[in-house]
Chain A
């Protein structure tokens, strides 16, 4: 590994811990980030000769603090002396490194940092952009590429998010049990958003966006490391791992989207599946079910089936039924209908989704699924209308191409 390579891995790994602690110290996101950047520059200068410190995060926090204190001094030249609580923290960085900080000491800091990124005042795209910038440390151009927007637009989005956060006045006290739980739930939802942002992709943009999935997995492992006994967090990590395991098989060599049942399952990543299955098994043992556990259990049933025809659709139907009760949503019902079609046939599935038309009329998957059920029932004319509607609503070229294939099959079938 090159020198810059090992240092950058260590810096990336230490980033959430260090930025979170610096944020608590300075109570200012920009200053915390700036301090961390400056500490990283010093690390790049001194680590190659001195070797990395035993506790990289602690080193970066100490150096970052000292650096930012200089900045604060420069900014407030009119003030003769820096505030006293800042002076008292001027400890020798290397001395502090000797004492390793416990993971638990960082827990509420990191949770706060993650929570700030998914503050309810921020719209979802700003949440994701802020988390990727602040916590994962992706550069603005990298994030802009993943979102398919210009760098200037992304810069603006992040700046706007930061000023909203500053205005929102997030408390810095240690959160109470109830508040901590709310924060964990909000952070879990944000991590899932980051993942989905990367997962909703076509092959052309696969590289830049797949990185978002990997970052979401890293964030979920980080959150699980902080709260190792929370079954819903185990399940969130499991869900992301099991879904991402299928990434290598989601598109064929021509870049066409492959349905789950058509994927080459030998291409699934066994290592991610192993980790995901262990996590969902662990979560279920707690006997405290929740929506992430149900979703991860569904993903696990797909992962355990080595051939599409081995899939336990009866169990999947039951699990979607449970999810419908926990978290009623037309999207969940639509997904359940796919399982119902396998277990009880397309007529039952179609009857199940017809009432959803008013809510899901503008949704690509609704018309795609409806078209497929109609085709299985031999109602080809209606199927064609549904597929045309789906193409008009497709979000990516791959989605449209997939539906066109269905239409081709329909045309082929009609000609026979």
Chain B
């Protein structure tokens, strides 16, 4: 069984870290994930950039609505995610619209990825 571990923290606090502090945290996490990687247990890892850079596509209406900011509805739950490689936000929104057409209802939160490791899990 594969598991996703979702990371939550107060962004105001993590954004208040100095670069040295941030690097130290990443290095410590790296030591943990390295072991997992050697054991073949690690899939993709992504660190998302701050929610101030987020855009949300509400796909519970036609046409879907693009709004600034992160997704913040507590009555809906995180059910999965895609990682896509795009040249612009415009392109990501188009992809999200296509996905939303295939599966209307709810929303997609679009967040730029800061750190990404593809991982080595066999699918």
Interface residues, chain A, with chain B CB atoms under 8 Å away:
1, 5, 9-10, 12-14, 214, 218, 221, 224-225, 228-229, 234, 237, 271, 274-275, 277-279, 281-282, 285
Q: Which residues of A contact B19 (CB under 8 A)?
A: 214
Q: Which residues of A contact B69 (CB under 8 A)?
A: 228-229
Given contacts A229-B69, A275-B49, contact A281 B88 (CB under 8 A): yes
* A218 with B15: CB separation less than 8 A: yes
Given contacts A10-B13, A13-B12, contact A224 B114 (CB under 8 A): no
Q: Which residues of B contact A1 (CB under 8 A)?
A: 21, 24-25
* B52 at the binding interface (Cβ < 8 Å): yes
- How distant is the Cα of A1 from the Cα of B29 in the complex, in angstroms? 12
Q: Which residues of B contact A279 (CB under 8 A)?
A: 52-53
* B2 at the binding interface (Cβ < 8 Å): no
Q: Which residues of B contact A228 (CB under 8 A)?
A: 52, 68-69
| A interface footprint on B22-59 (CB within 8 Å = 1, 0 otherwise) | 00110000000000000000000000011011010000
* A237 with B112: CB separation less than 8 A: no
The 10 closest A-B pairs by CB, nearest first: A281-B89, A13-B12, A278-B112, A12-B16, A13-B16, A271-B114, A278-B53, A228-B69, A13-B13, A275-B49
- Kindly list 18 other residue pairs between chains A and B, CB separation below 8 angstroms, not including A228-B68, A274-B49: A1-B21, A10-B13, A13-B10, A13-B13, A229-B67, A271-B114, A274-B112, A274-B113, A275-B50, A275-B114, A277-B88, A277-B89, A277-B112, A279-B52, A279-B53, A281-B90, A282-B53, A285-B66
Q: Which residues of B contact A9 (CB under 8 A)?
A: 13-14, 16-17, 21
- How distant is the Cα of A12 from the Cα of B90 in the complex, in angstroms? 35
Q: Which residues of A contact B14 (CB under 8 A)?
A: 9
* A274 with B21: CB separation less than 8 A: no
Q: Which residues of A contact B113 (CB under 8 A)?
A: 274
Q: Which residues of A contact B18 (CB under 8 A)?
A: 214
Q: Within the complex, which residue of B21, B49, B50, B89 is in contact with A285, where a contact is CB–CB below 8 Å? A: B89
Distance in Å: Cβ of A172 to nearest Cβ of chain B: 24
**Can you spell out 16 A-B residue pairs with CB atoms less than 8 angstroms apart?**
A9-B17, A9-B21, A13-B12, A13-B13, A221-B50, A221-B52, A225-B52, A274-B49, A274-B112, A274-B113, A274-B114, A275-B114, A278-B89, A279-B52, A281-B90, A282-B68
Q: What is the size, in residues, of chain B's interface with A at 8 Å between Cβ atoms?
A: 28
Distance in Å: Cβ of B46 to nearest Cβ of chain A: 12
Given contacts A281-B90, A282-B89, contact A271 B49 (CB under 8 A): yes
The residue in chain B whose Cβ has the minimal distance to the Cβ of A281 is: B89
The residue in chain A whose Cβ has the minimal distance to the Cβ of B90 is: A281
Distance in Å: Cβ of B6 to nearest Cβ of chain A: 19
The residue in chain A whose Cβ has the minimal distance to the Cβ of B115 is: A271
Q: Which residues of A contact B112 (CB under 8 A)?
A: 274-275, 277-278
- How distant is the Cα of A46 from the Cα of B68 in the complex, in angstroms? 39
Distance in Å: Cβ of A27 to nearest Cβ of chain B: 25
The residue in chain B whose Cβ has the minimal distance to the Cβ of A269 is: B19
Q: Which residues of B contact A12 (CB under 8 A)?
A: 16
- How distant is the Cα of A274 from the Cα of B113 in the complex, in angstroms? 7
- How distant is the Cα of A218 from the Cα of B18 in the complex, in angstroms? 11
Q: Which residues of B contact A5 (CB under 8 A)?
A: 21
- How distant is the Cα of A224 from the Cα of B88 in the complex, in angstroms? 21
- How distant is the Cα of A228 from the Cα of B113 in the complex, in angstroms? 19
- How distant is the Cα of A218 from the Cα of B12 in the complex, in angstroms? 9
Q: Which residues of B contact A278 (CB under 8 A)?
A: 49, 53, 55, 89, 112
- How distant is the Cα of A278 from the Cα of B18 in the complex, in angstroms? 22
Interface residues of B in 100-121 (CB under 8 A from A): 112-115
Distance in Å: Cβ of A178 to nearest Cβ of chain B: 22
The residue in chain B whose Cβ has the minimal distance to the Cβ of A275 is: B49
- How distant is the Cα of A275 from the Cα of B51 in the complex, in angstroms? 10
* A275 with B21: CB separation less than 8 A: no
Q: Which residues of B contact A10 (CB under 8 A)?
A: 10, 13
